[in-house]
Structure 1
Amino acid sequence: MSVDSINYSRSSALTNENALPSAAVDLSELGVMENNFISLMVAQIQNQDPTNPVDSSQFLQQYASMSQVKSMENMATLQQSSLVLADNLQTLTAAGLVGQEVSVNVESLELNDQPVNGQFTLDNYSGKTSLLLTDSNGTETVIQLGEQAAGKVAYTVDPVALGLKPGQYSIQAFNADDQRLTVEVNGLVKDVRVSNTGPVLNIAGAGSVPFYNIVEFGQRS
């Protein structure tokens, strides 16, 4: 190999060496980059000027950085695999709930001619509790539940008895201080739909509800 060729190779190698730390790293091509780096290091060592050898600590630092990025890539891959596994388990769990009764947090009801049961929780005694139903036209129906002790308060919405037409109704629960409470509905899971955000359950009385809104499932006493 001629002196000019050696100098050119060394100059080219040093240019690439200086570019490596500042170049954007594509994790999907990290394996190729690692192989290229090793080939570059071997070529530079073979073609270095004996009177002015290359500082090997620079190679070690760059290789250590590349190994660190490789470890990060492996961690990202493992994390992605864990997320896929968790999503699959969630879908299987949701599918297993078809035909079972569950309790879900809701802000609306889907009423037909069947009563809908549910509950809400009081942190303290309340001398007055109520439910407020609002239809799509803004018509409000108040269901008075009277005084209630702290704990779970069960309720029933009977559309026939209340003279409510089938349709979608928003539902809110209030205590004596007009504090809004989280409302739960108990309903049978009719089917499960898989979406990009996770399983969505079709629940009698509640309609389409995301899986993460479930607060209780299993056989009731």
Structure 2
Amino acid sequence: MTAQPVVGVLALQGDVREHAAALTECDVRVQPVRRAEELDGVHGIVLPGGESTTMSRLLETFDLLQPLKARIADGLPAYGSCAGMIMLASKVLDGRPDQHQLDGIDMIVRRNAFGRQVDSFEEDLEFTGIDGGPMHAVFIRAPWVESVSPEVEVLATVPDTETAGAAAGRIVAVRQRSVLATAFHPELTGDKRVHRLFTEIVRAS
């Protein structure tokens, strides 16, 4: 892709502005997405952190659920942080019965795993595919990944440290083809490396 790509940010709920600011620093145009027709002009989309059941309900209310699911199935690059990771999963544990999934990554995610265990949590992670040393990750009532299919690449796990507790060894960043997800919030730390990785995926698609 030679022209400046347009990356949408699902703007129904959650930390939309933080993602938009991070993406802007990665030399892409940012498009808030609230209606199905706004999906037509984007080359990738970010699903922000927030509350996954609320986001799921709003996707249906705004008639975005099926169009977004179809675009992702057709290869639209997508990145989800925290609640966005939950939305992209094929299956969620501890979710609401009426919660909808976008099936972007073949994985099982446990909703609010960090919420029950440690509420909020910070750790330095080794992140495959990102240079520059460990990434400081902030988890806020976050999910973790229980399991992935062989098609999913695990990019980061929580190291076994004194403070990790039940989170030690849990998968917290994954990629399947052009879909990326993290359990943590890089948009809140000022570290743009995950957003840069995603914009590289968008440019290569």
Q: Same fold (TM over 0.5)?
A: no
> Which of 1 and 2 has greater Rg?
1
Query: Is the strand fraction higher in 1 or 2?
Result: 1
Normalised-by-shorter TM-score class? under 0.3
Which is richer in helix?
1
The TM-score normalised by the length of structure 1 is 0.21
User: What TM-score results when the alignment is normalised by the length of structure 2?
Assistant: 0.22
